[in-house]
């Protein structure tokens, strides 16, 4: 028996969560409904018997005080009594009415076959005839069990001269009871069917809210999520729609120096006044934005948690900006070195070809002049840049951009008055390189895309006074006024093609971090001027 029960329980556990929930709820509801039905039926049964007993006794009392009946009992007039009780029987729902004398013998019966003078059965007349009390009894008569109400008959002098018995057969009472049971069973059946439907719909609703997963599958997913969270190199945290922290992985704790349990961490303490945090109707995902988390500069992205089209929270991933800076600096150095080598290689090949041709035709003097001229021009460019700009990183960048412009058939012209000793400490050097390089690249692209004859880009770079001024002027086709307001948004560009809209977005991000401003103006006679005005003093994290 125990083994059979274990097998049944094992089979039950293999059912789906929806089926198990449905069966459990339905069984519990059915048991409660069955218990309530039995209680109601038992109460109805007791009330019915009590009411019928009361009715039988009241009817017996009313009949016992009828003057005609009292007179007929006193004279033992059986015929008059029979004529009196038969009409009463027709007007009531009682099974029978019996009139007896003070010896307990029949004087009249609604069944005419019962002989007058025969003894009354049941043995329940003694209390009525002796004590004069009206009673209700359950006794067996000549027709079986019946529920009887008995009352004494008193003569005008108060003596007990007979007894009146009004009875209801138990079979009749059971028939009435069953007639009331049918609607009850119908209500129980309807309620059971209703519970069946409601239980099934409730189980389906629960499963839908649980995304079709069983509890054990949800537990496994939670464990997998915890394991994945802790294995991710980046910091990851999630917040609900009310900006409450719901989860945080190990990397995020280490980077943000969070030691307290998740329940005690306030998101406002980690991200104070951070524009990266969603506010109001801002429900857009954001990617690779530079911001401050708990006094740590990071590059962060956020993705909304949406269920059924409704926003229920956010997942935020971030990594140290220092790690990206190191890699970016190395890549920038390599790229700049490669660009310079490629441009110089092209220039050198052209120069060698020309020199070889001159030597081949015997123009030795012309070859010597070419050598001196080429050397003087290159040295002049190098001397001009190194003398004007004291930061070697800026020098390397501008030399590369100068030869890149020459390769494109353009001229990178340095405005008179340029002077730079060192870059401000408000940003890392690689970030200043990104600002200057992206502005120059954007100007080169704008100029080469335009058909105007002026093929040059003018750069003004100066750190005199309290601010650094970076001004890059191109002679392109200009920027439409409707596009200027959105030009610094991610993915927005004045040039056609995929993969654009990143350079100016990064420039604007770095400018904001430095507490600087950037302006866009029209160049004369055509083109655009980008100007950056950055304070030279250091800026604290709070000002970011």
pLDDT at 473: 93
Q: Does domain 16-212 have CATH number 1.20.1270.360?
A: no
Task: For residue 134, give Cα distances in angstroms to 2, 62, 138, 163.
Answer: 59, 11, 14, 10
For residue 474 the two structure tokens come to 């191109």
Q: Considering only 75-79, 121-125, 362-366, which range has the smallest mean pLDDT?
A: 362-366
Domain residue extents for the chain? 16-212, 234-319, 384-535
State mean pLDDT over 428-450.
Answer: 87
pLDDT at 86: 87
State mean pLDDT over 348-357.
Answer: 72
**CATH top class, domain 384-535:** alpha beta
Comparing CA positions, the residue from 130, 128, 150, 146 lying closest to residue 138 is: 146
Using an 8 Å Cβ cutoff, are 136 and 149 in contact?
Answer: yes
Residue 544 has pLDDT above 50, yes or no: no
pLDDT at 263: 60
pLDDT in tens, 395-409: 888 888 888 888 888
Task: Name beta bridge partners: 473.
Answer: 458, 529
Tell me which of 80 and 208 has the higher pLDDT: 80
pLDDT at 343: 64
What's the pLDDT band for 543 if we cut at 50, 70, 90? very low
Residue 366 has pLDDT above 70, yes or no: yes
Task: For residue 368, give Cα distances in angstroms to 46, 353, 365, 402, 528.
Answer: 133, 14, 5, 26, 42
Q: Considering only 238-252, 335-349, 426-440, which range has the smallest mean pLDDT?
A: 335-349
Using an 8 Å Cβ cutoff, are 167 and 96 in contact?
Answer: yes
For residue 134 the two structure tokens come to 């009206």
Q: Which residues contact 538 (CB under 8 A, 6 or more apart)?
A: 424, 425, 426
Task: Name beta bridge partners: 236.
Answer: 317
pLDDT at 110: 84
Buried b (16+ CB within 10 A) or exposed e, 140-151: ebeeeebbbbbb
Task: Residue count of the chain, please give it.
Answer: 544
Residue 501 has pLDDT above 50, yes or no: yes
For residue 506 the two structure tokens come to 């990064």
Intrachain domains 16-212 and 384-535 with the same fold: no
DSSP secondary-structure letter at 69? H
State mean pLDDT over 113-126.
Answer: 82
Q: Report strand pairing: 135-141 vs 144-154.
A: antiparallel
User: What is the phi/psi pair of residue 500, to 5°?
Assistant: -105, 180
Tell me which of 85 and 17 has the higher pLDDT: 85
Q: Does domain 234-319 have CATH number 3.40.50.300?
A: no
- Segment (H or E) for 299: strand 296-307
State mean pLDDT over 74-97.
Answer: 86
Q: Which residues contact 411 (CB under 8 A, 6 or more apart)?
A: 405, 455, 456, 457
pLDDT at 4: 54
pTM over 0.85: no
Residue 478 has pLDDT above 80, yes or no: yes
Cα separation of 346 and 350, whole Å? 6
User: What is the phi/psi pair of residue 236, to 5°?
Assistant: -135, 130
pLDDT at 461: 92
State mean pLDDT over 58-79.
Answer: 88
- Please, what is the average pLDDT of the chain? 80
């Amino acid at each position: 028996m125990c083994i059979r029960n274990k097998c049944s329980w094992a089979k039950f556990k293999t059912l789906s969560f929806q089926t198990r929930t449905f069966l459990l709820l339905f069984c519990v509801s059915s048991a409660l409904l069955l218990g309530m039905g039995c209680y109601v039926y038992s109460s109805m049964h007791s009330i019915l018997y009590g009411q019928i007993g009361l009715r039988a006794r009241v009817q017996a009392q009313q009949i016992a005080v009828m003057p005609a009946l009292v007179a007929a009992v006193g004279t033992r007039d059986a015929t008059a009594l029979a004529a009196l009780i038969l009409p009463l029987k027709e007007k009531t729902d009682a099974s029978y009415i019996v009139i007896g004398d003070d010896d307990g013998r029949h004087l009249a019966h609604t069944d005419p076959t019962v002989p007058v003078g025969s003894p009354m059965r049941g043995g329940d007349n003694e209390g009525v005839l002796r004590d004069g009390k009206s009673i209700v009894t359950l006794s067996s008569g000549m027709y079986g069990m019946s529920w009887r109400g008995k009352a004494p008959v008193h003569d005008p002098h108060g003596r007990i001269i007979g007894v009146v018995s009004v009875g209801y057969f138990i079979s009749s009472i059971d028939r009435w009871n069953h007639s009331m049971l049918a609607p009850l069973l119908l209500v129980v059946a309807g309620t059971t069917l209703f519970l069946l439907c409601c239980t099934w719909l409730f189980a389906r609703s629960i499963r839908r809210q649980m995304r079709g997963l069983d509890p054990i599958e949800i537990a496994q997913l939670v464990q997998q999520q915890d394991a994945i969270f802790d294995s991710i190199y980046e910091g990851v945290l999630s917040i609900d729609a009310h900006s409450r922290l719901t989860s945080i992985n190990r990397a995020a704790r280490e980077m943000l120096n969070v030691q307290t349990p998740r329940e005690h961490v306030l998101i406002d303490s980690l991200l104070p006044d951070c524009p990266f945090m969603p506010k109001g109707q801002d429900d857009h995902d954001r990617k690779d934005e530079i911001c401050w988390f708990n006094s740590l500069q990071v590059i962060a992205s956020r993705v909304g948690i949406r269920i059924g089209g409704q926003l229920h929270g956010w997942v935020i991933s971030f990594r140290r900006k220092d790690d990206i800076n190191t890699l970016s600096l190395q890549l920038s150095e390599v790229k700049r070195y490669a660009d310079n080598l490629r441009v110089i290689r092209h220039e050198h090949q052209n120069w060698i070809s020309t020199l070889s041709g001159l030597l081949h035709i015997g123009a030795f003097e012309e070859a010597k002049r070419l050598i001196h001229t080429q050397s003087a021009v290159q040295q002049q460019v190098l001397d001009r840049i190194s003398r004007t700009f004291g930061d070697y990183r800026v020098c390397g960048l501008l030399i590369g951009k100068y030869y890149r412009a020459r390769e494109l058939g353009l001229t990178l012209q340095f405005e008179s008055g340029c002077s730079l000793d060192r870059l401000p400490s408000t940003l890392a050097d690689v970030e200043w390189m990104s600002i200057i390089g992206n502005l120059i690249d954007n100007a080169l692209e704008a100029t080469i895309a335009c058909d105007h004859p002026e093929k040059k880009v003018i750069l003004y770079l100066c750190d005199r006074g309290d601010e650094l001024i970076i001004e890059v002027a191109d002679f392109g086709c200009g920027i439409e006024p409707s596009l200027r307001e959105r030009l610094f948004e991610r993915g927005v560009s004045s040039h056609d093609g995929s993969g654009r809209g990143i350079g100016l977005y990064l420039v604007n991000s770095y400018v904001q971090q430095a507490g600087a401003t950037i302006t866009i103006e029209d160049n004369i006679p055509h083109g655009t001027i980008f100007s950056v005005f950055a304070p030279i003093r250091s800026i604290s994290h709070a000002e970011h």
